[in-house]
Chains A and B, each alone.
Chain A
Amino acid sequence: MNNSEKKRMNGEAEEENEEDVEDEGRDAWERTYTDERSWEALEEDESGLLQPIDNKAIYHSQYRRRLQSLSAASAASRIQKGLIRFLCVVVDLSKAAGEMDFKPSRMAVIAKHVEAFIREFFDQNPLSQIGLVIIKDGVAQSLTELGGSPEAHIKALMVKLGCSGDSSLQNALELVHDTLHKIPSYGHREVLILYSALSTCDPGDIMETIQKCKKAKLRCSVIGLSAEMFVCKHLCQETGGSYMVALDEGHFKELLLEHAPPPPALAEFAIANLIKMGFPQRAAEGSIAICSCHREAKVGEGYICPRCKARVCELPTECRFCGLTLVSSPHLARSYHHLFPIEPFTEVSARQLELSRVASKTCFGCRESLLTPGTNKAGPCAACTKCKQYFCLDCDIYIHESLHNCPGCESRRITPAAASVTMS
């Protein structure tokens, strides 16, 4: 992230004051403040005015690198993605989670980012469900059942926050296995373990459990908070998950959020199968009906299952009575972009931009000028490979991370008829 970049900049600034300070050889207490020591990065311009810190370029280059690596992986072969995911998040709340190497403690950091992760997850995978499991005192307990409501999960986790005892990976895996193995075959079974401890105290042979998980096609991923453990690595290798160790808080967040977009489907799942889904109607304004989820009469604001006519409060969900999966079309649409991601834009150098035919030199997205204000020189920008439109960096990020559609390509597609006319 940009932390490291900033750190370097700070390091340079400090070197004038303290002679033996290296980039890495800084004391621990100092390092924790580097992110906040933004005052040292301030610079003055000729007239003595403070210049705003420009992290944008750095941020953007980081983002591009990430995008490139992602697309490189997917471009190699057309990968199927699991859109309907059943994810168990296992949070290790053993004694090790109370360690203070992350501030204020590992536990607090985990809680904070898990919350963000759950929201992000449901945003990206509206058809999926999450269940929470915690490990404490050598046993694993299920905090929430698999469900689609972010608020319920977050609330349950915040209540249970507190750490003690040993950690047992095997117990957690057994519990998760019991929960996930009954999921229908179209759902992707995933486990994400946030592991603080450096050992696991197991009642039996963990290798057998790992094989069991492998057989049940659970994709287990682990994010470690302290160091690499062999058994975790083994687990991830066996089940096809990823194993990462967080360097610091920023890195941890990044690693966690990497799990939000759907992973490539396992080969065993690559068979296409049809899933029955219902698209319920919105209940009429003012109609009164007993809601199936709260079991009380409600006025308006609800959806009616197309098969059994039961009423539910929110989507997506499963009908309480007939078990039909209920979604709305925007949900499907929102999942759709994972299958057809927009290709990363190519970067355009200043020279290219100046030579380009686009007279206005404005961003196709926001219509802002692509020239740096004041100097009238071309600033950094990117171009879509398909429609060849230019975009400013902000729009580039917005298109790739939120919009998932290229405005240039979309607006061109409206006029296929016109195109054919000119051709003929």
Chain B
Amino acid sequence: MKFQIEEVTVYFPYDNIYPEQYTYMVELKRALDAKGHCLLEMPTGTGKTIALLSLITSYALAKTESPIKLIYCTRTVHEMEKTLAELKFLHNYQVKHLGAAAKMLAIGLSSRKNLCVNPKVSSAENRDSVDAACRKLTASWVRSMAAENPNQPTCEFYENYDRAAGGAVLPAGVYTLEDLRAFGKEKGWCPYFLARHMVQFANVVVYSYQYLLDPKVAGIISKEMQKESVVVFDEAHNIDNVCIEALSVSVRRQTLEGAIRNISRIENEIDRFKDIDAGRLRAEYNRLVEGLALRGDLSASDAWLANPALPDDILRQAVPGNIRRAEHFLHVLRRLVQYLKVKLDTDKVEKESPVSFVASINSDAGIDQKALKFCYDRLHSLLMTLEITDTDEFLHIQTICDFATLVGTYARGFSIIIEPFDERMPLIPDPVLQLCCHDASLAIKPVFDRFQSVVITSGTLSPIDLYPRLLNFHPVVSRSFKMSLTRDCICPMVLTRGSDQLPVSTKFDMRSDPGVVRNYGKLLVEMVSIVPDGIVCFFVSYSYMDGIINSWNESGILKDIMQHKLVFIETQDVVETTLALDNYRRACDCGRGAVFFSVARGKVAEGIDFDRHYGRLVIMFGVPFQYTESKILRARLEYLRDTFQIKEGDFLTFDALIDVMNIELTDRNLNQRQAAQCVGRVIRSKADYGMMIFADKRYSRHDKRSKLPGWILSHLRDANLNLSTDMALHIAREFLRKMAQPYEKTGSTTGRKTLLSQEDVEKLGNNGAQEMLY
């Protein structure tokens, strides 16, 4: 359908639209008009992605005088593919209605692992080794060597691409990763380099967060992006963690040992070069004198590392004299590694600020701050000079230099924590030195500064006012949208008491109480007997889950559960868990019914959809607070309190609930794998229903509850706030019966219109215009 939002004609590829999608688009359009950043929360399953895409592309079509570029960031490759598929559908629709004028170029960019078509390279098992294998074939010196020696292997795809040079362009269209590979194969061009080249010209680029947030990658890929771009971070509820991770480094013993090996290898290489080609080293020295910014002679394929967040003005400075010569630099590195080794040999937990750390390096190892700051680039330059291609071997020394540069650059927002052992296992020595970033705004700041509009959107951004403070920006629009539903298809409940009316909680003093364990068990046993198909249970941690399953096993509760449903458990092993999930799905499909035990912060089951019958009920046992004794968390909380005046309790609750909500989200994640017919999918998604039980007495407190997103809160009735097991059981039974009834899809009879047709939208638009008049 086609409709007007103010002066922009929006092309929406489906016949009907949800009212919340419409208002979402209106808000988004205002943000684009204002050329500012915005923060939008809308429940998953309401078609956020298509609303975003269709508004922004339509906006670009309407404003031809200042074309905007869309940079769409997703978390996973899977999401990227989904987004591109949606975009393709939208693009076909626009071309059908507008003809050639609507043509655009949209590409997805991913790592070599996902794009490489050279069978010799792409067979490598992980990302780093694919990168290294590629470099072995495409680095400039390898290629110049191949020019003289035909036996030197090169990548034919890259050669072809390079030969085509300016002629290597993608025709307009939407390219998924699969399309890119197919195109590359057909033409014989390397899809990875082609895509990287085309990023500058594309109207829409879809890639991972890292390409913008991780300064190492961003420098290469995203440098050329124009200012008139709209950056979208989808599923951005833990964007702050992504930012922090991008700037955090941890150093272990293995890292240091590896680094020492690396250093001696580099030394050998230097000696070898001195014999055969001393001129090269001298040329490098001269270049370093000129300054880092003049890396003119490096070709595109060689630019594989960039400086982590060095401000531009530093890049123009000359590299300090004491590390200009390769041997001197190696000495510095050796001293640094030695210093860190001594530091790691401690037996007590230490916490330091970067300033004092740098000072002590200076006095103990004789390395000044400026030298530290340039470590990363100096190493990079050295490796390049030495023509080292197997970069995956040199990860350890890169980590060390990364660390050095970050310590040398930032005096605030970081802390260095040395822990001699993991707190949960104090007997096993596993010393780790961590450089933790506390300030999420550091990594994202360049993005906010560079681009005209940044859109942060997700199913859960509540409380919405916390994000601007964490990321330190000023949104022009920040809104939360509710899902319009024809019926109350989600039924959240807060269970505070067990069947014996005693309170249940995973609070530290209560969690090992046998009464609580039994009550939780009873709850599950009762629930499996009345809920069909799949149930997902989330526990606060792996250790708690192990403990509780053990005691259930001993008391026979597990056996009772197994009479009704099969039990699957998430472990820390990816393969095992994938298998368990697969079988879980199968058990749900064939009607046997299944329970999946998972961990709220478990990384394995993250991002997995428990939609439809795969998750009729989600039980959250306890509140998944972060491990509050963790030094890193403590330090971060302290920093947040001092800098942003965010109370510790607030953040913890926020963080815990964000996590809970992610579960709910994955549960209600109704995104369809294939973009099928609109009405079909619309109705399919809204036809879904499910229950959530928050089993902890702390959820009934207002401060915890109020952090839940609005669309769940609105379904949480006061009567369901303080339930015991039997009451929850009763509600569940009624709810399931009610939801099993056939219902009116458009909601036109009940007076709650949830699906708008063309006329409805036009009417809305007119009303909106009138409202503005008066």
Contacts and interface: CB of A to CB of B under 8 A. Distances in A.
Nearest to B736: A227
A177 B613 CA distance: 27
Nearest to A168: B591
A198 B737 contact: no
B739 interface: yes
A205 B592 CA distance: 11
Interface string B737-749: 1111110000000
A230 B564 contact: no
Contacts of B613: 229-230
A88 to B, nearest CB: 19
B533 interface: yes
A336 B579 CA distance: 57
A226 B530 contact: yes
Contacts, number: 74
Interface in B693-746: 719, 730, 733-734, 736-742
Contact of A230 (B612, B719, B741): B612
Contacts of B612: 230
Size bracket, chain B contacts = 20 to 34
Interface string A222-249: 0010111111101000000000111100
Contacts of A25: 719
B531 A230 contact: no
Contacts of A28: 730
Interface string B171-192: 0000000000000000000000
B529 interface: yes
B530 A200 contact: no
Contact of A207 (B590, B733, B734, B742): B590
A167 B741 CA distance: 23
Contact of B733 (A199, A200, A226, A232): A226
Contacts of A319: none
A227 B592 contact: no
Most buried by A among B588, B590, B739: B590
A115 interface: no
Nearest to A246: B737
A101 interface: yes
A228 B591 contact: no
Interface in A78-117: 101
Contact of B532 (A205, A206, A228, A246): A228
Given A200-B591, A245-B737, A230 B530 contact: no
Contacts of A371: none
Given A101-B733, A198-B593, A199-B565, A230 B740 contact: no
A244 B737 CA distance: 10
A206 B590 CA distance: 6
B730 A198 contact: no
Contacts of A199: 532, 564-565, 591-593
B740 A245 contact: yes
Contacts of B616: 227
Most buried by A among B529, B588, B737, B741: B737
Nearest to A20: B719
A227 B531 contact: yes
B741 A226 contact: no
Contact of B740 (A24, A205, A206, A224): A224
Nearest to B588: A230
A202 B566 CA distance: 13
A130 interface: no
A206 B592 CA distance: 10
A233 to B, nearest CB: 8
A132 interface: no
B734 to A, nearest CB: 8
Nearest to B533: A230
Given A198-B531, A199-B532, A227 B737 contact: yes
Contact of B592 (A200, A224, A244, A247): A200
B532 A227 contact: yes
Nearest to B719: A25
A202 B592 contact: yes
Contacts of B564: 198-199
A201 interface: yes
A103 to B, nearest CB: 15
Given A199-B564, A199-B593, A245-B737, A227 B719 contact: no
A205 B591 CA distance: 10
B402 to A, nearest CB: 49
B616 to A, nearest CB: 8
B472 to A, nearest CB: 47
B588 A198 contact: no
Given A198-B530, A198-B564, A199-B565, A230 B591 contact: yes
Given A198-B529, A198-B564, A231 B733 contact: no
Given A25-B719, A228-B532, A230-B532, A201 B592 contact: yes
Given A199-B593, A226-B736, A232-B591, A245 B533 contact: no
A98 to B, nearest CB: 12
Given A28-B730, A101-B733, A198-B529, A228 B590 contact: no
Contacts of A169: 591
Nearest to A25: B719
Given A198-B564, A247-B737, A231 B589 contact: yes
Most buried by A among B533, B588, B589, B733: B533
B146 to A, nearest CB: 55
Contacts of B533: 229-230
Interface string A182-218: 0000000000000000111110011100000000000
A198 B587 CA distance: 13
Contacts of A247: 737-738, 741
Nearest to B564: A199
Nearest to B737: A247
A148 B737 CA distance: 34
Interface in A131-182: 169
Contacts of B739: 228
Contacts of A246: 737
Contacts of B592: 199-202
B8 to A, nearest CB: 40
B198 to A, nearest CB: 44
Contacts of B742: 244
Given A198-B529, A198-B531, A227 B740 contact: yes
B591 A231 contact: yes
Contacts of A224: 740
A226 B737 contact: yes
B505 to A, nearest CB: 26
B740 A231 contact: no
B412 to A, nearest CB: 54
A234 B564 CA distance: 20
Interface in A1-57: 24-25, 28
Given A227-B532, A244-B740, A244-B741, 11 more contacts: A28-B730, A169-B591, A200-B590, A202-B592, A226-B737, A227-B531, A228-B739, A230-B532, A230-B591, A230-B612, A245-B741
The 3 closest A-B pairs by CB, nearest first: A231-B591, A245-B740, A227-B736
Interface of A: 24-25, 28, 101, 169, 198-202, 205-207, 224, 226-232, 234, 244-247
19 contacts: A198-B564, A199-B564, A200-B592, A201-B592, A202-B590, A202-B591, A226-B530, A226-B736, A227-B532, A227-B733, A227-B736, A227-B740, A229-B591, A230-B589, A231-B589, A232-B591, A234-B589, A245-B736, A245-B741
Interface of B: 529-533, 564-565, 588-593, 612-613, 616, 719, 730, 733-734, 736-742
